[in-house]
Amino acid sequence: MNIKNFVRKEVFDLTIREYAPKDDSNGKKADLSLNINPYGVSKNVLEALKKMDKSKINHYYPENHELMGEISLYLNIPKENIIIGDGCDGCLHLIANTFIEAGDEVIIPTPTFHRYEFHTKLLGGVCKFIPMDNFELSAEKILNSVSDKTKIIFLCNPNNPTGMAIDPKIKEEIIKKFKGIVVVDEALADVTDVNGSLLLKKYDNLIVVRSFSKTFGLASLRIGYIVAHTDIANQIKKTTSPFQVNGIAQELALIALKDKEHIKLSKEYIQENRKKLINGLELLGLKCTPSLTSNFLVDISPLHSNSKELVNELKNNGIYVTDASIFRLPKDTYIRVAISNEKENSLFMEEMRKLTSELRK
Protein backbone atom coordinates (compact mmCIF):
# COMPACT_ATOMS: atom_id res chain seq x y z
CA MET A 1 0.00 0.00 0.00
CA ASN A 2 1.32 3.43 -0.89
CA ILE A 3 0.10 5.50 2.07
CA LYS A 4 0.52 8.70 0.06
CA ASN A 5 -2.43 7.65 -2.13
CA PHE A 6 -4.75 7.53 0.89
CA VAL A 7 -3.70 10.19 3.35
CA ARG A 8 -4.84 13.80 2.96
CA LYS A 9 -2.14 15.89 1.29
CA GLU A 10 -2.20 18.39 4.17
CA VAL A 11 -1.41 15.59 6.63
CA PHE A 12 1.24 14.01 4.39
CA ASP A 13 3.06 17.34 4.19
CA LEU A 14 3.28 17.72 7.99
CA THR A 15 6.20 16.30 9.98
CA ILE A 16 6.00 14.42 13.28
CA ARG A 17 7.34 16.58 16.08
CA GLU A 18 8.55 15.08 19.32
CA TYR A 19 7.34 17.31 22.15
CA ALA A 20 8.54 15.28 25.14
CA PRO A 21 11.60 13.19 24.20
CA LYS A 22 11.83 10.06 26.35
CA ASP A 23 15.47 10.35 27.42
CA ASP A 24 14.97 13.88 28.67
CA SER A 25 15.03 13.50 32.43
CA ASN A 26 18.59 12.13 32.71
CA GLY A 27 20.64 14.57 34.72
CA LYS A 28 18.03 17.31 34.53
CA LYS A 29 18.71 19.99 37.18
CA ALA A 30 16.48 22.87 36.08
CA ASP A 31 13.72 23.12 33.50
CA LEU A 32 13.08 26.63 32.20
CA SER A 33 11.46 25.38 29.01
CA LEU A 34 7.99 24.48 30.24
CA ASN A 35 6.08 27.76 30.42
CA ILE A 36 3.72 26.67 33.20
CA ASN A 37 2.89 28.26 36.57
CA PRO A 38 6.16 28.08 38.58
CA TYR A 39 4.18 28.77 41.78
CA GLY A 40 2.31 25.51 41.25
CA VAL A 41 -1.29 24.36 41.61
CA SER A 42 -3.82 25.84 44.02
CA LYS A 43 -4.06 23.83 47.28
CA ASN A 44 -7.86 23.98 46.94
CA VAL A 45 -7.58 22.16 43.61
CA LEU A 46 -5.40 19.43 45.12
CA GLU A 47 -7.82 19.00 48.04
CA ALA A 48 -10.82 18.78 45.69
CA LEU A 49 -9.02 16.21 43.57
CA LYS A 50 -8.52 14.00 46.63
CA LYS A 51 -12.18 14.30 47.61
CA MET A 52 -13.59 14.01 44.08
CA ASP A 53 -16.87 12.11 43.85
CA LYS A 54 -15.81 8.96 41.95
CA SER A 55 -19.19 8.67 40.18
CA LYS A 56 -18.20 11.76 38.18
CA ILE A 57 -15.61 9.71 36.30
CA ASN A 58 -18.25 7.27 35.02
CA HIS A 59 -20.31 9.98 33.36
CA TYR A 60 -21.01 11.52 29.93
CA TYR A 61 -21.84 15.13 28.95
CA PRO A 62 -20.07 16.98 31.74
CA GLU A 63 -21.09 20.49 30.61
CA ASN A 64 -20.41 22.62 33.66
CA HIS A 65 -22.64 25.69 33.78
CA GLU A 66 -21.20 26.83 37.08
CA LEU A 67 -17.77 27.07 35.40
CA MET A 68 -19.22 29.14 32.56
CA GLY A 69 -20.89 31.39 35.13
CA GLU A 70 -17.60 31.91 36.95
CA ILE A 71 -15.75 32.70 33.69
CA SER A 72 -18.52 35.13 32.80
CA LEU A 73 -17.93 36.95 36.13
CA TYR A 74 -14.14 36.78 35.75
CA LEU A 75 -14.13 38.49 32.34
CA ASN A 76 -17.35 40.44 32.68
CA ILE A 77 -19.00 38.92 29.61
CA PRO A 78 -22.29 36.99 29.09
CA LYS A 79 -22.27 33.23 29.58
CA GLU A 80 -23.73 32.64 26.09
CA ASN A 81 -20.51 33.86 24.54
CA ILE A 82 -18.35 31.19 26.20
CA ILE A 83 -17.40 27.77 24.81
CA ILE A 84 -15.31 25.41 26.93
CA GLY A 85 -12.65 23.43 25.06
CA ASP A 86 -9.89 20.92 25.73
CA GLY A 87 -7.17 23.50 26.28
CA CYS A 88 -6.54 26.66 24.37
CA ASP A 89 -5.07 24.46 21.65
CA GLY A 90 -8.30 22.45 21.44
CA CYS A 91 -10.14 25.80 21.11
CA LEU A 92 -7.84 26.84 18.25
CA HIS A 93 -8.74 23.55 16.56
CA LEU A 94 -12.48 24.28 16.91
CA ILE A 95 -12.02 27.76 15.45
CA ALA A 96 -9.91 26.58 12.51
CA ASN A 97 -12.35 23.75 11.83
CA THR A 98 -15.28 26.18 11.77
CA PHE A 99 -13.73 28.77 9.47
CA ILE A 100 -10.70 27.62 7.46
CA GLU A 101 -11.18 26.08 4.03
CA ALA A 102 -8.49 25.01 1.56
CA GLY A 103 -6.87 28.06 -0.02
CA ASP A 104 -7.98 30.53 2.70
CA GLU A 105 -5.23 32.82 3.91
CA VAL A 106 -4.46 33.58 7.52
CA ILE A 107 -2.11 36.25 8.79
CA ILE A 108 0.33 35.36 11.56
CA PRO A 109 2.64 38.09 12.92
CA THR A 110 5.98 36.58 13.91
CA PRO A 111 7.68 35.59 16.14
CA THR A 112 4.82 33.75 17.79
CA PHE A 113 3.33 30.49 19.05
CA HIS A 114 3.54 27.76 16.38
CA ARG A 115 0.07 26.20 16.67
CA TYR A 116 -1.76 28.79 14.53
CA GLU A 117 0.36 27.60 11.62
CA PHE A 118 -0.35 23.94 12.39
CA HIS A 119 -4.15 24.31 12.61
CA THR A 120 -4.22 26.39 9.43
CA LYS A 121 -2.09 24.02 7.38
CA LEU A 122 -4.01 20.96 8.55
CA LEU A 123 -7.11 22.38 6.88
CA GLY A 124 -5.32 23.44 3.68
CA GLY A 125 -5.11 27.09 4.66
CA VAL A 126 -2.16 29.26 3.68
CA CYS A 127 -0.13 31.16 6.31
CA LYS A 128 1.18 34.65 5.61
CA PHE A 129 3.88 35.35 8.17
CA ILE A 130 4.37 39.04 8.87
CA PRO A 131 7.55 39.81 10.84
CA MET A 132 7.09 42.30 13.67
CA ASP A 133 9.49 45.23 13.99
CA ASN A 134 11.50 44.93 17.16
CA PHE A 135 8.80 42.56 18.51
CA GLU A 136 6.11 45.26 18.15
CA LEU A 137 3.01 44.83 16.01
CA SER A 138 2.26 47.36 13.27
CA ALA A 139 -1.44 47.67 12.41
CA GLU A 140 -0.51 49.20 9.06
CA LYS A 141 1.80 46.34 8.10
CA ILE A 142 -0.78 43.73 9.13
CA LEU A 143 -3.69 45.44 7.37
CA ASN A 144 -1.62 46.02 4.22
CA SER A 145 -1.02 42.26 4.03
CA VAL A 146 -4.74 41.48 3.87
CA SER A 147 -5.99 40.11 0.54
CA ASP A 148 -9.49 39.09 -0.53
CA LYS A 149 -8.56 35.54 0.56
CA THR A 150 -7.62 36.51 4.13
CA LYS A 151 -10.05 34.97 6.59
CA ILE A 152 -8.30 35.15 9.94
CA ILE A 153 -5.64 37.24 11.67
CA PHE A 154 -4.09 35.45 14.67
CA LEU A 155 -2.74 37.69 17.44
CA CYS A 156 -1.04 36.32 20.55
CA ASN A 157 -1.50 38.68 23.48
CA PRO A 158 0.74 38.66 25.48
CA ASN A 159 2.95 37.04 22.93
CA ASN A 160 4.72 33.75 23.32
CA PRO A 161 7.79 33.86 23.18
CA THR A 162 8.40 37.57 24.02
CA GLY A 163 5.90 37.93 26.88
CA MET A 164 5.07 41.41 25.50
CA ALA A 165 1.51 42.71 25.25
CA ILE A 166 0.08 44.35 22.14
CA ASP A 167 -0.60 48.09 22.36
CA PRO A 168 -4.41 48.18 22.92
CA LYS A 169 -4.85 50.90 20.26
CA ILE A 170 -3.03 48.81 17.65
CA LYS A 171 -5.07 45.73 18.54
CA GLU A 172 -8.33 47.65 18.28
CA GLU A 173 -7.35 49.25 14.96
CA ILE A 174 -6.75 45.80 13.46
CA ILE A 175 -10.08 44.43 14.77
CA LYS A 176 -11.93 47.53 13.61
CA LYS A 177 -10.49 47.71 10.09
CA PHE A 178 -10.19 44.03 9.18
CA LYS A 179 -13.31 42.61 7.55
CA GLY A 180 -12.52 39.02 8.57
CA ILE A 181 -12.06 37.32 11.95
CA VAL A 182 -9.43 38.31 14.50
CA VAL A 183 -8.44 35.55 16.93
CA VAL A 184 -6.66 36.86 20.01
CA ASP A 185 -4.86 34.16 21.99
CA GLU A 186 -4.82 35.25 25.64
CA ALA A 187 -3.41 31.99 27.05
CA LEU A 188 -0.77 34.03 28.88
CA ALA A 189 -2.99 36.95 29.88
CA ASP A 190 -4.10 35.96 33.38
CA VAL A 191 -1.00 37.41 35.06
CA THR A 192 -1.62 40.75 33.29
CA ASP A 193 -4.47 43.26 32.91
CA VAL A 194 -5.09 42.20 29.30
CA ASN A 195 -8.77 41.39 28.71
CA GLY A 196 -9.73 41.49 25.03
CA SER A 197 -13.19 40.09 25.75
CA LEU A 198 -14.33 43.59 26.73
CA LEU A 199 -14.11 44.54 23.02
CA LEU A 200 -16.83 42.01 22.18
CA LYS A 201 -19.39 44.69 22.99
CA LYS A 202 -18.02 46.74 20.09
CA TYR A 203 -16.88 44.22 17.49
CA ASP A 204 -18.58 41.13 16.09
CA ASN A 205 -15.47 39.75 14.34
CA LEU A 206 -13.44 39.04 17.49
CA ILE A 207 -12.65 35.68 19.10
CA VAL A 208 -10.61 35.41 22.30
CA VAL A 209 -9.12 32.11 23.48
CA ARG A 210 -7.92 31.51 27.03
CA SER A 211 -6.33 28.71 28.99
CA PHE A 212 -6.34 27.08 32.41
CA SER A 213 -2.84 25.70 31.70
CA LYS A 214 -0.82 28.76 32.68
CA THR A 215 -1.67 30.90 35.73
CA PHE A 216 -4.21 28.32 36.96
CA GLY A 217 -1.62 25.53 36.82
CA LEU A 218 -3.83 22.89 35.16
CA ALA A 219 -1.79 22.19 31.98
CA SER A 220 -2.17 18.43 31.96
CA LEU A 221 -5.95 18.56 32.58
CA ARG A 222 -6.39 20.13 29.12
CA ILE A 223 -8.94 22.87 29.61
CA GLY A 224 -9.41 26.29 28.05
CA TYR A 225 -12.20 28.36 26.54
CA ILE A 226 -13.35 30.53 23.68
CA VAL A 227 -15.10 33.86 24.11
CA ALA A 228 -16.79 35.18 20.97
CA HIS A 229 -19.64 37.28 19.66
CA THR A 230 -22.93 35.30 19.70
CA ASP A 231 -23.02 34.90 15.89
CA ILE A 232 -19.54 33.38 15.88
CA ALA A 233 -20.06 31.36 19.08
CA ASN A 234 -23.22 29.79 17.62
CA GLN A 235 -21.31 28.53 14.58
CA ILE A 236 -18.41 27.15 16.65
CA LYS A 237 -20.83 25.42 19.03
CA LYS A 238 -22.08 23.30 16.09
CA THR A 239 -18.60 21.83 15.64
CA THR A 240 -17.98 20.83 19.27
CA SER A 241 -18.22 17.24 20.49
CA PRO A 242 -20.37 16.42 23.54
CA PHE A 243 -17.52 14.15 24.67
CA GLN A 244 -14.58 16.51 24.21
CA VAL A 245 -13.86 18.19 27.54
CA ASN A 246 -13.37 16.02 30.59
CA GLY A 247 -15.61 16.61 33.59
CA ILE A 248 -12.86 16.44 36.21
CA ALA A 249 -10.96 19.18 34.38
CA GLN A 250 -14.07 21.39 34.43
CA GLU A 251 -14.71 20.78 38.16
CA LEU A 252 -11.11 21.63 39.01
CA ALA A 253 -10.94 24.64 36.70
CA LEU A 254 -13.91 26.08 38.59
CA ILE A 255 -12.08 25.69 41.90
CA ALA A 256 -8.87 27.16 40.45
CA LEU A 257 -10.74 30.18 39.10
CA LYS A 258 -12.40 30.80 42.48
CA ASP A 259 -9.07 30.70 44.35
CA LYS A 260 -8.29 34.42 44.05
CA GLU A 261 -5.48 34.20 46.63
CA HIS A 262 -3.63 31.61 44.54
CA ILE A 263 -4.01 33.78 41.43
CA LYS A 264 -2.66 36.81 43.33
CA LEU A 265 0.30 34.92 44.79
CA SER A 266 1.09 33.33 41.40
CA LYS A 267 1.20 36.78 39.79
CA GLU A 268 3.52 38.09 42.51
CA TYR A 269 5.79 35.05 42.28
CA ILE A 270 6.07 35.36 38.50
CA GLN A 271 6.70 39.13 38.64
CA GLU A 272 9.36 38.84 41.30
CA ASN A 273 11.22 35.95 39.69
CA ARG A 274 11.00 37.44 36.20
CA LYS A 275 12.56 40.64 37.50
CA LYS A 276 15.39 38.71 39.20
CA LEU A 277 16.15 36.64 36.11
CA ILE A 278 16.03 39.56 33.68
CA ASN A 279 18.23 41.72 35.95
CA GLY A 280 20.72 38.87 36.28
CA LEU A 281 20.87 38.23 32.53
CA GLU A 282 21.18 41.92 31.70
CA LEU A 283 24.11 42.19 34.11
CA LEU A 284 25.75 39.54 31.91
CA GLY A 285 25.19 41.86 28.94
CA LEU A 286 22.28 39.87 27.50
CA LYS A 287 19.21 41.76 26.28
CA CYS A 288 15.79 40.40 27.32
CA THR A 289 12.32 41.29 26.00
CA PRO A 290 10.22 43.46 28.39
CA SER A 291 7.89 40.63 29.34
CA LEU A 292 4.70 40.88 31.40
CA THR A 293 4.34 37.12 31.72
CA SER A 294 6.22 33.98 32.73
CA ASN A 295 8.32 33.77 29.56
CA PHE A 296 10.71 36.06 27.70
CA LEU A 297 13.33 36.04 24.98
CA VAL A 298 17.04 36.45 25.57
CA ASP A 299 19.35 37.62 22.78
CA ILE A 300 22.46 35.51 23.30
CA SER A 301 24.47 37.10 20.47
CA PRO A 302 27.15 38.64 22.78
CA LEU A 303 27.76 35.09 24.01
CA HIS A 304 27.14 32.71 21.14
CA SER A 305 26.23 32.84 17.44
CA ASN A 306 23.75 29.97 17.52
CA SER A 307 20.85 29.37 19.92
CA LYS A 308 20.60 25.65 19.15
CA GLU A 309 24.23 25.09 20.15
CA LEU A 310 23.86 27.11 23.35
CA VAL A 311 20.65 25.25 24.27
CA ASN A 312 22.51 21.95 23.79
CA GLU A 313 25.43 23.14 25.88
CA LEU A 314 23.05 24.11 28.67
CA LYS A 315 21.22 20.80 28.31
CA ASN A 316 24.48 18.87 28.65
CA ASN A 317 24.81 20.60 32.01
CA GLY A 318 21.26 19.70 33.07
CA ILE A 319 19.65 23.08 32.29
CA TYR A 320 16.70 23.18 29.90
CA VAL A 321 15.58 26.26 27.97
CA THR A 322 13.93 26.58 24.54
CA ASP A 323 15.74 27.23 21.28
CA ALA A 324 13.55 30.10 20.07
CA SER A 325 14.12 29.40 16.37
CA ILE A 326 10.79 27.45 16.42
CA PHE A 327 9.02 30.82 16.80
CA ARG A 328 10.20 32.16 13.39
CA LEU A 329 12.61 34.81 14.59
CA PRO A 330 14.73 36.96 12.25
CA LYS A 331 18.00 35.53 13.60
CA ASP A 332 19.23 32.35 15.32
CA THR A 333 20.49 33.95 18.50
CA TYR A 334 17.47 33.85 20.79
CA ILE A 335 16.52 31.48 23.55
CA ARG A 336 13.17 31.50 25.34
CA VAL A 337 13.33 31.36 29.09
CA ALA A 338 10.22 30.32 31.01
CA ILE A 339 10.43 31.08 34.73
CA SER A 340 10.72 28.06 37.01
CA ASN A 341 10.95 27.90 40.81
CA GLU A 342 13.59 29.93 42.65
CA LYS A 343 16.00 27.01 43.05
CA GLU A 344 15.92 26.10 39.36
CA ASN A 345 16.14 29.74 38.29
CA SER A 346 19.32 30.12 40.39
CA LEU A 347 20.85 26.98 38.85
CA PHE A 348 20.13 28.41 35.40
CA MET A 349 21.74 31.75 36.32
CA GLU A 350 24.76 29.97 37.80
CA GLU A 351 25.25 28.07 34.53
CA MET A 352 24.80 31.24 32.46
CA ARG A 353 27.44 33.03 34.55
CA LYS A 354 29.84 30.10 34.09
CA LEU A 355 29.24 29.98 30.34
CA THR A 356 29.67 33.74 30.03
CA SER A 357 33.02 33.74 31.76
CA GLU A 358 34.24 30.68 29.79
CA LEU A 359 33.09 31.95 26.41
CA ARG A 360 34.52 35.42 26.97
CA LYS A 361 37.98 34.12 27.95
Ligand X SMILES: Cc1ncc(COP(=O)(O)O)c(C=O)c1O
Identified binder of ligand X from the candidate list 37, 98, 120, 160, rule CB under 6 A: 160
Nearer to ligand X, 249 or 310 (CB): 249
Q: Least distance to ligand X from the beta carbon of 126, Å?
A: 21
Max CA distance (Å), the chain: 64
62 vs 158 by CB, closer to ligand X? 158
Geometric angle at alpha carbon 215, from 252 and 134, rounded to 5°: 150
> How far, in Å, CA of 86 to CA of 221, rounded?
8
Q: By CB under 6 A, name the one of 33, 81, 192, 211 that touches ligand X.
A: 211
Q: Of 66-74, 86-94, 132-140, 239-247, which part binds ligand X (CB under 6 A)? A: 86-94
Contact positions with ligand X (CB under 6 A) in 90-129: 113
Q: Looking at this protein, which amino acid is placed at residue 129?
A: F
Q: Is there binding between residue 250 and ligand X (CB under 6 A)? A: no
Q: Which of 37, 98, 110, 213 binds ligand X (CB under 6 A)?
A: 213
Strands (E), the chain: 30-31, 82-85, 105-110, 126-131, 150-156, 181-185, 206-211, 224-228, 287-288, 295-299, 319-320, 322-323, 334-338
User: Does 188 engage in binding with ligand X (CB under 6 A)?
Assistant: yes
**Of 156 and 226, which has the nearer Cβ to ligand X?**
156
Which residue from 30, 156, 257, 278 is in contact with ligand X, where contact means CB under 6 A? Answer: 156
In the β-sheet with 181-185, what is the strand arrangement from edge to edge? 82-85, 224-228, 206-211, 181-185, 150-156, 105-110, 126-131
Closest to ligand X by CB, 329 vs 355, is 329
Interface residue with ligand X among 67, 71, 83, 88 (CB under 6 A) is: 88
Any contact of residue 273 with ligand X (CB under 6 A)? no
Residue list 280-319, contact with ligand X (CB under 6 A): none
Choices 85-93, 174-182, 252-260, 340-348 (CB under 6 A): range interacting with ligand X: 85-93
Task: Report DSSP letters for 285-339, one per residue.
Answer: T-EE---SSSEEEEE-TTT-S-HHHHHHHHHHTTEE-EEGGGG--SSS-EEEEE-
In the complex, minimum distance from the CB of residue 224 to ligand X, in angstroms, rounded to a whole number: 4
Give the per-residue contact string, 166-185, with ligand X (x = CB under 6 A; - = no): -------------------x
* Number of residues this chain uses to bind ligand X (CB under 6 A): 14
Residue 76, classified by CB atoms within 10 Å of its CB into exposed (0-12), middle (13-18) or buried (19+), is exposed
Closest-CA residue to 239 (of 324, 119, 66, 347)? 119
Q: Which amino acid is at 211?
A: S
Q: Which of 35, 37, 291, 325 binds ligand X (CB under 6 A)?
A: 35
Q: How far is CA 6 from the centre of its chain?
A: 33
Q: Smallest distance from the beta carbon of 36 to ligand X, in angstroms?
A: 8
Contact 228, 200 (CB under 8 A): yes
Query: Between residues 222 and 262, which has the closer beta carbon with respect to ligand X?
Result: 222
With CA atoms as reference, report the closest residue to 298 among 275, 282, 320, 315: 282
List of residues contacting ligand X (CB under 6 A): 35, 87-89, 113, 156, 160, 185, 187-188, 211, 213, 219, 224
